[in-house]
Structure 1
């Protein structure tokens, strides 16, 4: 199918990552959507907020420490609390899956990867439902998989048309990116860490990292999230959606 190239004002970049798939009860997937004309501005602001303590290196929830805490808070605040300007258009949306309720043998041909891709699909469709006139470039954190990103793109486009018949191929690109060189994916990792840290009981555990507790509190309070165990509003700048698996 030949489709017209998107005009920048209508194009959204979606960056998607996930928390641990194997070690914890709750799997959390999330993504930020950034208007294409704002991508460079976001990266510039993140780089500025990292200085002087953390000019280089990948930012990750696993690396949160006392020495990096203030920097990680400043970086998170770039997205969470812009007072004005184009960064206010950025949104973060996430979904939570209770892995104890997964039935891969029944519904996913026995494949955890198939089930995981279905959750990626659900999250991408949420972006599409909220932004009904937008076009999307979707960037997934790089991982070992046999799945085709072109196949996922086709499935996303066919899926959105079932509810919005007038949508013409809104998911224009689905690619993998390495989080080590993608600042937006690093932001998503921090937000997911803040949610999963509480959901999976690590926050309340004896000996829990005080730095991670502090960053989790900071992110969730800034985002207006009172409880990670409950759904937020569907729309907003920072949302959580607990998937009800059948």
Structure 2
């Protein structure tokens, strides 16, 4: 692998939803939002301006979606679709209760979580670019696992010096506007796959996303779809 100062630098922001093993949820989702680093400042400012126009104070989070801010969230979706530099990939683990880590040599749930992180990210990374990856803080042990994740991702493209991923760290979502956008789309994807119906505003936002994309969030997409890509992981079952 040959990376230089002129090699494109991409920022990736990774968030998760319903990832805990004992949360009694049927699905978990990981989401990665990415764009060229040269666009981060402009896009972050544009997102702040959009929030200010709608008087949407505080962090952008899927959990905060409500009818009183429905116009803001629909405008947010329109902005994301119109901004060519912005891309999102979501990985949905279906029927999470069927996971059997021991049977398939997956270690424990934390190890499986990082295997899913690898599956999410390895389809985004290219040896022709360099990356800075920011993951939402999960727990106090995440730092050691980040080192292993970087090593595995780089070795996958024979980058044994880890030059492809110049930076990888955990951050809090309030530290980066674009991390909050990753939270928003990860949450929408999870809500859709859980089949929830209790929040009409969230259902309206999901409907708007699907209308703008021209497809359902329940559908997996081909890899060539880079605006909003969806990968569905089906756990293997033990026995016949």
Q: Same fold (TM over 0.5)?
A: yes
> What TM-score, normalized to structure 2?
0.86
2-structure distance, mates of 1:201, 1:55: 27
Q: Which residue of 2 aligns with 1:139?
A: 134
Question: How is 1:137-176 mapped onto 2 (pairs within 5 angstroms)?
Answer: 137-147=132-142, 148=144, 149-161=146-158, 169-176=163-170
The verdict on how the C-alpha distance between 1:167 and 1:94 changes in structure 2, with shifts beyond 3 A counting, is farther
2-structure distance, mates of 1:231, 1:145: 33
| CA deviations over 1:32-86 (Å, ceiling 9, x no partner) | 1110111011101101111233353111111111112211222232212x2xxxx
Residues 1:232 and 2:221 aligned together: yes
| CA deviations over 1:205-225 (Å, ceiling 9, x no partner) | xxx11111111111222233x
Question: How is 1:110-121 mapped onto 2 (pairs within 5 angstroms)?
Answer: 111-121=108-118
Residues 1:189 and 2:183 aligned together: yes
* Contact 2:3–2:130 (8 Å) recurs in 1: no
Local SS of the residue matching 1:24? coil
2-structure distance, mates of 1:74, 1:29: 23
Aligned residues: 227
Residues 1:38 and 2:31 aligned together: no
1-structure distance, mates of 2:233, 2:72: 32
* Contact 2:56–2:72 (8 Å) recurs in 1: no
Q: What RMSD in Å do the two structures reach over aligned CA positions?
A: 2.2
Q: Which runs of 5+ in 2 are unaligned?
A: none
* Contact 2:90–2:189 (8 Å) recurs in 1: no
> What TM-score, normalized to structure 1?
0.84
Higher relative contact order (CA 8 A, sep 6+): 2
Superposition deviation, residue 228 in structure 1: 2.8
| CA deviations over 1:88-147 (Å, ceiling 9, x no partner) | 0221111111213322223222x211110110111110111xx44111111101121424
Task: Determine which of 18, 35, 41 is the counterpart of 1:20.
Answer: 18
